[in-house]
Structure formats: C-alpha cells, structure tokens
C-alpha cells in the first residue's frame, strides 16, 4: 500500500470535480491530504469539495479553463502559499472528434493546449519545488488511444502519445530526487464526460473500468512509474506495440468498427 503521506500536505488535481479526478480527490481526502481542485464547472467542483471536506481536510476550489493561460497564472497565484506534494493532471478527454481535414484547427489546438501546454506548465511549476524538497509525485492520466492511430483521434492520440513519452523522460530525470512520476493509462472508463458524449458502455466485448477502481490503481502504482496500464488492459496495449504498424492500426480499426456496429 502506498504511503500517501509522502505526497502531502497539499495535492493539486487538474480535473478534480468528476469521474476519475473526483475519485482521486475522495481517496486522498480520506487519507488526510489537503486538496486544490480545478475544473470549469463550479457545481460539480463544489459538490466534490464538500464530500472531501467531510474527511476533515482543507479543500480549495478554482473554476478555471486550463486552456486559458491567464487562468493558469491565477492558479499559480492562488496556490503560492501551499506546499504541493502531488500533482494529478487528469483533465484531457478529446474535445474535437472531427476527421482531421474536416475539423477546425483552433479546436484541435485546444486539445493540444489542454493535454500538452497546460500540463507542461503545471508540471514545471509544481515539480521544481518537489525536486528541491526531494519528495513528491506527478501523476498524468493517459489513454490507450496514445498507443496507435485511430480515426477521429489523430490529434488526441498524438497528445496522449506525447504524455507517455514525456512521463517516461520526466521519470528518469526525477527518480534520483525521490519525486515519483507515473502515467496512468486508461481504457474505456465510465466517467460523466463519456456519458455526456453518449458512449455506449454496454457494447458486448468492450472492457469498461469504473473511475474509483482506476484511481485506486493509480495511487497504488504511483511509486512504480513510469507507466501503468489500468483496468487489466495490459495485453491489449502489448498488441498495440507491434512493430508492423499497418497491421496493428488496421486490425484495431476493424475490430472497433465491428464492436461499435460501423462498416
Ligand atoms: N473516460 C474514458 O473512457 C477515458 C479513456 C481513456 C483516457 N481517459 C483520460 O482520462 C482523463 C479524464 O477523462 P474524463 O473522461 O473524466 O473526461 P474530462 O473531460 O477530461 O473530465 C475530467 C475532469 O477534467 C475537468 N476538465 C475537463 N476539461 C477541462 C478544462 N479545459 N479545464 C479545466 N478542467 C477541465 C472536468 O470538469 P469540467 O468539465 O467541469 O471542466 C472533470 O473534472 C482524460 O485525461 C482522458 O484523456 C479517459
């Protein structure tokens, strides 16, 4: 069992209001860590914060769009007085599912800004003092989409691939400083965001994880970076790493089409 006290006294969760992020918040509050929760919608943010406060910890909330760089300046101001021992970067589901040539570049850019630009800013800002203190953790939530190209995921798959490679390098750079880095790779997970986009979780043959399970796995595996495949999807990821890229990309595409009832 991971000793979560090593990651206190404060935890910043980017995307900490719903789904996996809210489960991280509840687990960490139950372990006695104070929280800064970030998300755009203030309703779910306050609901999760209240549940966490019931454990007797301090919780600050900030309704921010992480794609807005001035909002990130505000976040840094609002946390300047805190010793942050753990950063969890969970926000980052796909927000532009057009085929690449049909989509708006500005919409794709927001996917890049959220998953790469904002994540890099937060990691550098909160990671530097962790390295100085020789203690801390950085957990990035990734996706199996980052292991191969797929239709309508050209940019999303790319940013998730970036996240994994970034985490691996960061893990190497920080391992001598006792700062744990983990990319927690998720498959399909039953989150409110996925429910809102109408994902059918009941497709036979589709493995669906629950947010609380993968959050728990992430905290357990945090000292064992750089990458952990949650939800029992390790074999599927191994298949996606085949060097014959046409075989694996087309094979997975055809399987997904069958699963989702397409052509
Ligand atoms: N669910 C899945 O099936 C699945 C599969 C593979 C990987 N993942 C990964 O798991 C992570 C969480 O995904 P999710 O399904 O829970 O959806 P999500 O849309 O990333 O939402 C997660 C949290 O992030 C917040 N958020 C989203 N966009 C934000 C923004 N621009 N600024 C600030 N906060 C933002 C959400 O609250 P607000 O909406 O109020 O901002 C919510 O609290 C993502 O990194 C995703 O890539 C998910």
263 band by pLDDT with thresholds 50, 70 and 90: very low
Tens of pLDDT along 214-245? 999 999 999 999 999 999 999 999 999 999 99
Measure 244 CA to ligand 1 centroid, in angstroms: 31
Closest by CA position to 87, among listed 47, 33, 41, 145 = 33
Measure 44 CA to ligand 1 centroid, in angstroms: 13
Whole-model pTM above 0.95?
yes
Ligand 1 pocket, residues with Cβ under 6 angstroms = 15-21, 38-41, 44, 64-67, 90-93, 114, 141, 143, 186, 188-189, 191, 193-194
Two tokens, residue 257: 């089409």
CB 108 within 8 A of CB 153: no
Distance of alpha carbon 156 from its chain centroid, rounded? 13
Measure 91 CA to ligand 1 centroid, in angstroms: 4
Tens of pLDDT along 148-198? 999 999 999 999 999 999 999 999 999 999 999 999 999 999 999 999 988
């Amino acid at each position: 069992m991971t000793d979560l006290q090593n990651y206190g006294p404060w935890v910043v969760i980017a995307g900490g209001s719903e789904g996996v992020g809210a489960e991280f918040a509840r687990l960490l509050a139950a372990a006695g860590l104070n929280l800064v929760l970030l998300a755009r919608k203030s309703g779910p943010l306050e609901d999760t914060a209240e549940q966490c406060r019931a454990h007797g910890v301090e919780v600050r909330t900030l309704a921010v769009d992480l794609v807005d760089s001035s909002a990130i300046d505000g976040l840094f101001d609002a946390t300047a007085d805190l010793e942050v021992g753990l950063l969890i970067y969970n926000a980052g589901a796909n927000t532009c599912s057009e085929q690449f040539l049909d989509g708006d570049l500005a919409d794709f850019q927001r996917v890049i800004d959220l998953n790469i630009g904002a994540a890099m800013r937060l990691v550098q800002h909160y990671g530097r003092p962790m390295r100085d203190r020789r203690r801390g953790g950085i957990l990035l939530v990734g996706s199996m989409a980052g292991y191969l190209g797929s239709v309508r995921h050209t940019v999303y798959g790319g940013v998730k691939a970036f996240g994994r490679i970034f985490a691996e390098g960061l893990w190497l750079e920080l391992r001598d400083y006792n700062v744990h880095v983990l990319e927690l790779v998720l498959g399909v997970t039953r989150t409110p965001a996925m429910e809102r986009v109408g994902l059918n979780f009941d497709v036979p043959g589709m493995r669906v994880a629950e947010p609380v399970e993968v959050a728990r796995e992430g905290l357990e595996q945090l000292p064992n970076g750089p990458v952990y495949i949650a939800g029992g999807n390790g074999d599927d990821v191994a298949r996606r790493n085949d060097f014959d890229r046409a075989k694996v990309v087309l094979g997975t595409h055809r399987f997904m089409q069958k699963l989702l009832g397409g052509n």
